[in-house]
Amino acid sequence: MLQYFKEKRDVNLHAQPIDAIKEISLAIEESIWRDAMPPLPGLVGGPVTVTAGDKYKFADWSGSEGILTLCDAYLHELRAFVLEGQGRPMLRG
């Protein structure tokens, strides 16, 4: 993961902004009406309800994680890397 984000950083700084794709998911809940007409208030049935959830992804990431999930995992991995380095002579500070 550290290498993936390092490459993203290099492209972003030296070539072009990183592209992200917006993935939209829809959850549709339907009601079945007994007749062709919508039901009267208080009866079974009702209109279709649609809720949307947006998720941004890196176009070249093969996993199902969105950008926020990847960034969170990257920061945890980076923090662990730095802490490990501070315990060795390679990083001090």
What pLDDT does 77 receive? 92
Handedness of CA 35, 37, 43, 46 (dihedral sign): positive
**Quick check: pTM over 0.75?**
no
Which has more confidence, 33 or 8? 8
CA dist 56 and 69 (Å) reads 10
pLDDT at 16: 87
Q: What is the pLDDT of residues 9-64, one digit of tens each?
A: 888 888 988 888 877 765 655 555 555 555 555 555 545 454 556 678 888 888 88
So what's the pLDDT on residue 60?
85
In angstroms, how far is CA 90 from the centroid of its own chain? 34
List C-alpha distances in Å: 74 to 1, 14, 78: 6, 21, 6
